[in-house]
Amino acid sequence: MTLPGGACDCCDVCGRPFTAPYQVLTDGRRICYRCHETAVYDQAQAQLIYQQVGAILQQTMHLVLNIPTALILVGRDQLADVLRQMGRSAAQVTQTLGVYARHGRKRAIYAQSGLPRLLLLQVVAHEWGHAWQMENAPLLREPLLQEGFAEWIAYQVLLALGMETAAARMAARDDVYGRGLRHVLLLQQHVGQDGVLAWCRYAR
């Protein structure tokens, strides 16, 4: 998952308008002070968020990962190394906040350390969506649909937690993530949640 190019005068994470000086991170994210205060640096804390995401997806959509997939909190440089090993572009290496990776039988979600809690939740849920895709929809290759589905999973998790503002902000993004999510949400209007999952399994 990479970053939104936010145009409104709002926090790039929670979507709330700025009411106080905001923090600009080196990669361009503008973060409100409330979000900045919740940065997660601790693996155990990240693990709780990962478990929460898994529990929500199991309870609300009956989704599980069958292959053990670890969550690993890494520094920016470590994440960049993982991405380079995966052959990602230079822009992706600098702007990516999390990634799902397979090395032979080992599967892991890498997420950047120091992200605000809500952003880490979004990143983890998005990458969880890719992990599910890899197990259940390995033929899905179209980037718009891959990213749209992963964003849709994160969107469902935010809604389950009552975070409508942050969810709406995801759907308003003007990039492959936002466009992909809107595509899948439109599909959901027609075929429902189960229909989206069935579509994903057979989409190319």
Beta carbon nearer to Zn ion, 34 or 76: 34
The stretch near Zn ion (CB under 5 A) out of 1-9, 74-82, 166-174, 190-198 is 1-9
Token representation of residue 187:
């599909």
Beta carbon nearer to Zn ion, 14 or 167: 14
Residue nearest to Zn ion (CB): 11
The CB-of-187 to Zn ion minimum distance in angstroms stands at 18
Dist. CA 202–CA 169, nearest whole Å? 29
Residues 28-57 that bind Zn ion (CB under 5 A): 32, 35
Beta carbon nearer to Zn ion, 21 or 190: 21
Question: Rule CB under 5 A: is residue 153 a binding residue for Zn ion?
Answer: no
Q: Which residues are CB-neighbours of 126 under 8 A, at least 6 positions away?
A: 1, 98, 150, 151, 153, 154
Token representation of residue 94:
């600098």
CB 61 within 8 A of CB 156: yes
The CB-of-1 to Zn ion minimum distance in angstroms stands at 5
Dist. CA 76–CA 110, nearest whole Å? 10
Beta carbon nearer to Zn ion, 32 or 120: 32
The stretch near Zn ion (CB under 5 A) out of 12-20, 43-51, 60-68, 195-203 is 12-20
- Among 4, 6, 13, 110, contact with Zn ion (rule: CB under 5 A): 13
Beta strand residue intervals within the chain, DSSP E: 23-24, 30-31, 69-74, 98-103, 106-112
Give counts: helices (H), strands (E), the chain: 8, 5
CB 33 within 8 A of CB 20: yes
- The CA–CA distances, whole Å, from 33 to 25, 28, 37, 48, 115 equal 12, 15, 6, 23, 13
- Among 14, 71, 157, 158, contact with Zn ion (rule: CB under 5 A): 14
Beta carbon nearer to Zn ion, 59 or 142: 142
Name the site residues for Zn ion (rule: CB under 5 A): 1, 11, 13-14, 32, 35, 147, 150
